[in-house]
Structure 1
């Protein structure tokens, strides 16, 4: 996400209301955001999940403003002021999937004879219930879209038992978000048999985030110097070189698979300093990102023409 200065000061937001179905603490909808009628600044007394299903826009939240894109999700607790806005003169549509849930959804009654899955949900619900700030997520392989489009289809068709299915899909979504948080770092130090393999896997999973070797080594209970030595012996590269390689490799894929501009691709792979991004890209590919895109698309087009001739 790219941070901006909010265009106007945040005023005290009104408390928004929503008409939930009777005896149903869960609601789902799709909203198209219009530049003239943006999703207005507000807060509410229930939880809200916003998923950007199409386009890009500005999310103003707690006196901060971020550019958001398709595939990003935000979990917003009660009382948090927020607003989703379509930039003026933007050509592409902006659409969000909106899941609303009352507080009782995250307050399960668990007694001493609770079943094991009730206990597990209780731990997961407590994580979201106790968070005091908003949370943001970026899907890795379409896992968030799969669940939310399932909720959309279920809402549209309303098959027998659709409310129960909607609740199951919500549990799937919350579990997916919960796991993403838990894999950041475990709660206790780990005994890892192969620190190199673990570190390489960690880089591949978290290259979009600010990855710090010192924090990783703290959980591995191994000194950064020792891990660097093991990495160098096994791969010939340092930790930062491996992280850079992973980010450049993914940026190459995005240059060929999307029409995103270079800045958006850099941010997508976790680099927010454009001079730094251009430097590490050119060090590894020996050309600029724009030139890389042009050359490889030319090769693809020539190969296609050759195959047809």
Structure 2
């Protein structure tokens, strides 16, 4: 089956703690509507393939802003911070597979690990591969990934075997076409550690009053450093990120609880219901209760 998820859970280092699939079958398929909410910054031990299934998808991978037009895909390496931006009022649906290499190769001592996983997995100088369709093999990879996605979500006969075979084939083609000059990405450790600290604080205290000064004191940095850090990593200012995070949490509560709009506003740090309604409508294109009616699973 497919998971439609608008929230995720991370530890103190922004590592995602959600288990993708199971120990026996460590792969998961997701379909996210970015008109519902974005995907906050996180990382995990699996690699992830993301396809812009409908509309345009805006991501941040490490410090790189990336735009995927419909039909384009990206393979994000393990251990890399990444996020997906909310899309205001526009069709913006992604499909993704989060795959642990154990599914493909089993033991790191196996020939499959050496030939199919090691050339890409965890390489710091190969953070992601963008596949926009300008090479014939891009379409082949997209087809194979969505073949696996369909088999898993529809639970077709012997889908676990089918998915492993198809994903192995995709990685084989990928390894045959790895770029000689991988995309560069910032490895500013101090920046990433600072952002992990600040994002963890926002995740834990978003219902409270938070200002730039709050975050500056926490990170022991100047306002200019604070603003540059957020812009470079998540593509926006600290207060915009905080506001978007609050709206994301409010969206989740609207879809998963029967709390009133006023209760949700207070629970997510908006202490003025009128302001909450205004910002929610501006962000999602719908008033809170209309959003609930439009997106809640019947």
TM superposition score normalised by structure 2 = 0.48
Which is bigger in relative contact order (C-alpha 8 A, separation at least 6)? Answer: 2
Say which one has the larger Rg: 1
